[in-house]
Amino acid sequence: MTAAGHSRRLAKGGMIDRSRPLAFAFNGRTLSGYEGDTLASALMANGVDVVARSLKYHRPRGIMTDGPEEPNAVVTVGEGSSRTPNLKATEVILHDGLVTRSQNCWPSVNHDVGAVAGLAAPLLGAGFYYKTFMAPRGAWPGLYERLIRRAAGLGRAPEGHDPDLYEHRHFHCDVLIVGAGPAGLAAARVLAQAGLRLLLCDERSRPGGSLTGTMQRIDGEPASAWARQTAADIAASPRALVLLETCAVWLGDHQLVALVERRPGESGVAERLWLVRPRHVVLATGAIERPLCFPGNDRPGIMLASATAAYIHRYGVAPGKRAVIHTNNDSGYGALQHLRQAEIDVRAIIDTRPRELIDEAALRVVRDVDLLPGHRIVSTAGRHRLSRIRVGPADGSRQARVIDADLLCVAGGWSPTRHLLGHRGGTVRRDESKHASSAAAPGDDVAITGVAAWVTGLAACLADGARVAGAVLKALGRKVPAPRMPVPDDETGTLSGEPNGPSCPTLDARQQRKAFVDLQNDVTAHDVMRALDEGYGAIEHLKRYTTSGMGTDQGKLGNVMAIDMVAEATGMPVEKIGHTTFRPPYTPVTLGALVGHARGERLFPTRETPFHHRHLARGALMELAGPWHYPKCYPRDGESVDAAIEREVRTVRSAVGFVDMSTLGKFEVVGPDSGIFLERAYANRLSTLAEGRCRYALMLREDGVVRDDGTVARMAKDRWHVTASTAHADDVWRHLERLRQVEWPELDVLLVDVGEQRAGLAIAGPRARDVLAAVLPDFDVSPEALPFLGCREIGFDGGRARVFRISYSGELGFEVYVGARHADRLWDAVSEAGTPFGIAPYGVEALDVMRIEKGHCAGSEFDGRTTAAELGLGRMIKRDVPFLGHALACQHSIRQRLVGLVSADRRTPIPRGAILVAGMARSRALGHVTAAVVSPTLGHPIALAMLQGSVSPGDGELRAVSPVAGLDVAVEIGDLPFYDADGARMRA
Amino acid sequence: MLIISCPWCGERDESEFSYGGPARPLPPLDADAAAWRRALYTRDNPKGWHEELWFHGFGCRQWIVVSRHTVSQEIADSRPPETPP
Amino acid sequence: MTTLSEITPLSVHRLLGARRSNDVMDEAKLPSRVSEALHEGSRTAMMLGPAEWLVLNQESVGSLDPTIVPGQPFFVLDESDAWRLFRLQGKGAGDIVAQFCPIDIGAVEGTACVTHLARHPAIVMPRSSGEVAILVPRSYAASLVALIRDAITRSDSSVCGRYDVGLQDTDFKTDPPPERCDRIQRD
């Protein structure tokens, strides 16, 4: 009864579109499937038994489930930079041209050399790596590391840039319903009819959940058709949104729920991460069937009973020909009707329970199938596919017998899917009173419905969904309607999924080695017992020691078996053992989905100064300095970067240059108490600053360490202009506002952030005054009118401008600030006025060279660990008036000091970030290099460094060592500043 | 990602704010070093309600005092700094 | 089709006031609640924070510093150079903003929310017509425009209840029922 070409495809049936065949490749073979198949169902239809090899022992593995709980069938999809490893074949929707491969096997999945690892199994048990690879130590880099890297892991990561696009979407709604199964659809139906803003999501590509795998009928039609129609009706409501193939992966604080929507449409967006803020959350997440633990429980052909039904109904695939059902609860008997429909020969039902515990309803469906109550599976056989099983009574009273079977349907009971609740620390296990769970966390509005809340039976689930919807409407103050309930067909045959038999029978040591608890990580019952023996009995310890639950399936099948095994072995009740912490995400999420749009050039917001286009027009080499696009240098006529920087420095020191200063933080401080405010906030004496004068100013942190340096200018009695360094501008604003709003609200002062609307250029060099005079012809720029550290307000281009006479480069310098709309005009005027003097723009590198030559501190010295005294700025600190940071600044002992370094041979560059050591002993680190350049002005390499303590003659020579760069340079301590020690040039 | 209720702007996403530590006044500027060390380095770390400062940087640029439960992340109250709770 | 365009020329003034100035606010036609926006012809006034307003207009006035306007307890600061104003129009405007902004755009129509778009500071003004006006500081404008242009190119920005009904049903007993539902597409 199979379709041509597919050895296991049924002639009819399945929710696939047989008019749309698809071709795909698996391990180089071209196979075919239909629209609506998953990769797993298509492989199964094509008779592929072995899909993957297990992690440690390289055992052949097939498909076990139909969902994200799949532990075995983990494959690589795609090629090249689109390659995605470690995807579960059950979650990959088949499309035309799909290219897939097995992982962790060589040369092929059917013949894998790695299978020899199975022979070494006794040595590779839990925690083996804590006891092996110890000696010889020398073997580590050459041998052990190489071996381990080759053997470890499953798939191989792709190389190159991810060509796919990803997006985020914030979404607000009244209700989020997770899961479009019977309870979810019932709830969503009521809420959509009430006109609420709702989002219904389901991880599968069609709605219905369990309804797509059942033969029941609702309102006279097949349940899956009812589901489809109901979902369509909900989607048609104006304020409802239905998302399929969308998995809810995280329930976060204040009910922020993250959903991953896969393949959202034809736009080329591969995945979309929805960040949903619902007022209410309804979890209708269903349940996952449990497997059973017995020797040889991992062979291809051993599947969950519900999965066999799913493959028959959803995909029209018969998973095998001769089936045996192995169960410890009544719901396992439900598989019989599906197997009969597909005309699969059912050889036996093996129930671990004694006959008395089996429900009458279950016994009724058995009919002529061989029922073996109180039996268990002793072993299984079959290399690439299950071929037979040995079954014996649990009490060992009779001989084991052999049953020929190629399909084993395992039914271990059901675990409600409550992981999202666990993300908020809510109850996941059932409590003694067997109520549906309380809210996830105080303040949360999360309700659970359906099987996830231990409600069994289709009618009961539909009713429970409607009930929860009613509760939500009531909470929102809406009228609760009395909807017409959908009526499922006769349910007298509902079989309970309550497991009342053991899932892990007692096994002897040899059997334990072959009985798998976590199939993906090859964790056996033996490993669990060994962990208990070695004292790792607490469930979190057990997980980490055995790695059970740490695979890509996140223990969805294995964790319950491990807990049951611990309960069995220790006699502790399951509630006391607890469970490992449920952490997001519920299933693996690609990094792309988490990142969204923020990659490459869009990684973070970038900013442009008002001179941005002038920089580009001038041929600047731009770089990112923090968020700012800023010129590194302006290379001319093909000169190298180093040559350009050197030329710019020479131009400034010998003639004149100009640089963009717009990135500095700029604030106006106004009000009657503005002087007091600044006096308290800064370390310098400011009350004595006259109008029209400015000053370098240090701001300390509360602990006395330097926060930032900048300038303070007094424009008028109660009006000040403050600058902060580019890197700390936001921090300084936040800090000053905190002082104003929180600490000193009694002061009458206002702070205004004027950073965005001002553009600034610094003109520096011996000819700077000439240039300024030409730019501002109506303004007296003589040394008398504008002395060093003076500031004036003037007019330019029809607007107001400010000029400050300060210098960062150490040359005669002026900073001119205008409104951003005048920026181009200012640049052009300066450029033009300076042409007779050979003016050139300079960038951040030249700026850095010159400030190092002058020994000026910048961000690399203000690294959050240095005090003013250590930086040689102690004279700026006022002693008599209290200010922020004063108390602890005075208390700091001086552990290091700022020094200048020159290389001993005056030739070798000093490496940046190098550690200072003394002599050949190198056992004591004496400090580090904060900034280093080759100085064109002095003609040799120089550096600034923080030196701890002092170097005594007996220490040997001082060396700057960078093990990372492999550099080692002898250095000498030089005087700071390196250039123009008395500052005559800037005071000219 | 918390929702913080700014007294000026209403309920906003945590990404609009930056955290400012516990809401305790700084010692007077002329207090001695010991008092400053106590204020900076000796902190309660309550498993429960915590008064703390947040700055609404991507919003009204005001500092607010928030009462947050450090275990459940519940936020009970948020107010401008001058007002008592 | 979603489009992004810039609105120029633009004049922007920030008013920083004394703490209690309710009567003056009425006279100056300024909103009294943060995020509230008052529109009058080409003038829009919005309240950004306690005692802080932004007034947008189409004519430009030049002044560099906070100065006290006689008769009013305000400092008036010309911020025309500090902002750029954009208009995002079309079917996908709200969805594009929702990619970058955590605010519920649909719930704040007619207001001016000071917030961020993917960490670009921005004032977002959704209008009832579906278009969204975005005021962004000058230095961040290019980066934000690039982000929005990427999103426009990327979309499929109309939200789909992605829902395929072309698949056959399983029913071994009777023939499959006829199709009853159309392909669902949200507009």
Residue with tokens 């009973």: A305
Average pLDDT over residues C117-123: 98
Please list, in sequence order, all residues whose beta carbon lies within 8 angstroms of the beta carbon of residue A736, skipping any fewer than 6 positions away: A667, A681, A751
The residue in chain A having the minimum alpha-carbon distance to the alpha carbon of residue C12 is A757
| 8 Å CB contact of B59 and C114 | yes
Give the one of A16, A205, A802 whose C-beta lies nearest to C168's C-beta: A16
Q: How many CB atoms lie within 10 A of CB A637?
A: 7
In the predicted structure, residue C70 carries a pLDDT above the cut 60: no
- CB < 8 Å to C80, chain A: 757, 821
The crossing angle, in degrees rounded to 10, of helices A844-853 and A641-654 is 60
A265: its two tokens:
């449409």
Please list, in sequence order, all residues whose beta carbon lies within 8 angstroms of the beta carbon of residue A118, skipping any fewer than 6 positions away: A57, A58, A59
Q: What angle do CA A546, A586, A283 make, to 5 degrees?
A: 130
Reduced to 3 states (helix: H, G, I; strand: E, B; else coil), residue A548 is coil
Measured distance CA(A876)–CA(A79) in Å, rounded: 63
What residues does A697 pair with on adjacent strands?
A: A710
The residue in chain A having the minimum alpha-carbon distance to the alpha carbon of residue C116 is A605
Q: If you write DSSP's letter for every residue of B10-41 in order, what string do you get?
A: EEEEGGG-EEEEE--PPPPTTS-HHHHHHHHH
Q: What's the sign of the alpha-carbon dihedral C115, C119, C125, C128? A: negative
CATH architecture for the domain at C3-155: 2-Layer Sandwich (3.30)
Measured distance CA(C121)–CA(A144) in Å, rounded: 51
| 8 Å CB contact of A442 and B28 | no
The whole-number pLDDT of residue A848 equals 95
Measured distance CA(A357)–CA(A346) in Å, rounded: 22
Give the one of B13, B15, B60 whose C-beta lies nearest to C34's C-beta: B60
CB A277 within 8 A of CB A447: no
Measured distance CA(C1)–CA(A949) in Å, rounded: 68
Which pairing describes strands A407-411 and A302-304: parallel, antiparallel, or unpaired?
parallel
| 8 Å CB contact of C98 and A170 | yes
| 8 Å CB contact of C103 and B13 | yes
Reduced to 3 states (helix: H, G, I; strand: E, B; else coil), residue A657 is strand
- CB < 8 Å to B81, chain A: 741-742, 745
| 8 Å CB contact of A737 and B26 | no
Please list, in sequence order, all residues whose beta carbon lies within 8 angstroms of the beta carbon of residue C129, skipping any fewer than 6 positions away: none
Q: In which band, very low, low, confident or very high, does the pLDDT at C169 lie, cut at 50, 70 and 90?
A: very low
CA distance B50 to chain A (A): 16
Give the total residue count for chain C: 187
This prediction has a pTM of 0.91
In b/e form, how buried is each residue of C41-53, taking b as 16+ CB within 10 angstroms?
Answer: eeebbbbbbebbb
Mutation target to probe the A interface, by most A beta carbons within 10 A, among C10, C64, C155, C173 is: C64
The residue in chain B having the minimum alpha-carbon distance to the alpha carbon of residue C53 is B60
- CB proximity under 8 Å: A 430-449 to B: 441-443
- Could you tell me which chains touch chain C, where touching means 3 or more CB pairs under 8 A? A, B
| 8 Å CB contact of A605 and C143 | yes
The crossing angle, in degrees rounded to 10, of helices A182-193 and A458-475 is 40
**B8 close contact with C: CB closer than 8 A:** yes
CB A329 within 8 A of CB A411: yes
Please list, in sequence order, all residues whose beta carbon lies within 8 angstroms of the beta carbon of residue A246, skipping any fewer than 6 positions away: A201, A202, A203, A259, A260, A261, A262, A274
Is there a cis peptide before residue A585, judged by omega within 30 degrees of 0? yes
- CB < 8 Å to A259, chain C: none
- CB proximity under 8 Å: B 16-35 to A: 18, 20, 25-33, 35
**B60 close contact with C: CB closer than 8 A:** yes
The residue in chain A having the minimum alpha-carbon distance to the alpha carbon of residue C150 is A597
| 8 Å CB contact of C50 and B9 | no
The residue in chain C having the minimum alpha-carbon distance to the alpha carbon of residue B17 is C115
Which pairing describes strands A345-351 and A370-373: parallel, antiparallel, or unpaired?
parallel
C98: buried, middle or exposed (CB in 10 Å: 19+, 13-18, 0-12)?
A: buried
CB A260 within 8 A of CB A169: no
What is the domain partition of chain C in residue ranges?
3-155, 160-187
The residue in chain B having the minimum alpha-carbon distance to the alpha carbon of residue C104 is B12
CB A955 within 8 A of CB A919: yes
Mutation target to probe the B interface, by most B beta carbons within 10 A, among C19, C34, C99 is: C34
| 8 Å CB contact of B37 and A883 | no
A53: buried, middle or exposed (CB in 10 Å: 19+, 13-18, 0-12)?
A: buried
What distance, in Å, lies between the first and last C-alpha atoms of chain A? 101
**B81 close contact with A: CB closer than 8 A:** yes
Give the one of A719, A756, A819 whose C-beta lies nearest to C62's C-beta: A819
Q: What is the ipTM of this complex?
A: 0.97
* Weakest-pLDDT range from A717-726, A727-736, C33-42, C159-168: C159-168
The whole-number pLDDT of residue A442 equals 55
CA distance C163 to chain B (A): 30
Please list, in sequence order, all residues whose beta carbon lies within 8 angstroms of the beta carbon of residue A100, skipping any fewer than 6 positions away: A24, A25, A26, A27, A39, A75, A76, A77, A78, A89, A92
- CB < 8 Å to C52, chain B: 60
Mutation target to probe the A interface, by most A beta carbons within 10 A, among B13, B29, B52 is: B29
A720: buried, middle or exposed (CB in 10 Å: 19+, 13-18, 0-12)?
A: buried
CB A12 within 8 A of CB C163: no
Q: How many CB atoms lie within 10 A of CB A975?
A: 10
B65: its two tokens:
């005092």
- DSSP label at A532? H
| 8 Å CB contact of B18 and A277 | no
- CB < 8 Å to B61, chain A: 737
Residue A82 φ/ψ, nearest 5 degrees:
-95, 5
CB A817 within 8 A of CB A799: no
A942: its two tokens:
């120089």
CB A93 within 8 A of CB A16: no
Locate all alpha helices (DSSP H) within A548-601, ordered by sequence.
558-570, 574-577, 591-595
| 8 Å CB contact of A752 and C98 | no
Measured distance CA(A634)–CA(C111) in Å, rounded: 45
> Which residue in A412, A406, A410 sits closest to A386, CA to CA?
A406
- CB < 8 Å to B25, chain A: 742-743
Give Cα A965 to chain centroid, integer Å: 31
- CB < 8 Å to C85, chain A: none
Residue A889 φ/ψ, nearest 5 degrees:
-65, -40
Please list, in sequence order, all residues whose beta carbon lies within 8 angstroms of the beta carbon of residue A828, skipping any fewer than 6 positions away: none
Give the one of B2, B20, B57 whose C-beta lies nearest to A253's C-beta: B2
CB A981 within 8 A of CB A975: yes
**A277 close contact with B: CB closer than 8 A:** yes
In the predicted structure, residue C164 carries a pLDDT above the cut 50: no
The residue in chain A having the minimum alpha-carbon distance to the alpha carbon of residue B56 is A734
Chunked in runs of 10, what are the mean pLDDT values of chain A (988 residues)?
67 89 94 94 95 91 94 93 92 91 86 80 79 83 83 85 92 97 96 95 92 88 93 95 95 94 76 96 94 94 95 94 94 91 94 89 87 93 94 85 96 90 73 44 78 89 94 90 78 63 72 89 92 92 93 91 89 86 92 94 96 96 95 95 96 97 95 95 94 95 94 94 95 96 93 94 96 94 93 89 91 95 96 97 96 93 91 91 92 89 94 86 82 95 89 75 91 90 86
- CB < 8 Å to A228, chain C: 165, 169, 181
- CB < 8 Å to C102, chain B: 1, 12-13, 15-16
Measured distance CA(B51)–CA(A370) in Å, rounded: 69
The whole-number pLDDT of residue C64 equals 35
- DSSP label at A607? B
CA distance A707 to chain B (A): 16
CA distance C44 to chain A (A): 20
CB B15 within 8 A of CB B1: yes
CB A437 within 8 A of CB A417: no
Mutation target to probe the B interface, by most B beta carbons within 10 A, among C52, C53, C114 is: C114
| 8 Å CB contact of A222 and C140 | no
CA distance B10 to chain A (A): 15
CB A4 within 8 A of CB A336: no
What residues does A629 pair with on adjacent strands?
A: A624
Give the one of B1, B33, B69 whose C-beta lies nearest to A256's C-beta: B1
Which pairing describes strands A896-903 and A799-804: parallel, antiparallel, or unpaired?
unpaired
pLDDT digits (tens, 9 = 90+) for B14-64: 999 999 999 988 999 999 999 999 999 998 889 999 999 999 999 999 999
Measured distance CA(A878)–CA(A886) in Å, rounded: 9
> Which residue in A563, A569, A568, A571 sits closest to A546, CA to CA?
A563
CB A497 within 8 A of CB A288: no
Give Cα C73 to chain centroid, integer Å: 29
| 8 Å CB contact of C101 and A609 | no
CA distance B7 to chain A (A): 14
- CB < 8 Å to B55, chain A: 734, 737-738
Measured distance CA(A765)–CA(A810) in Å, rounded: 9
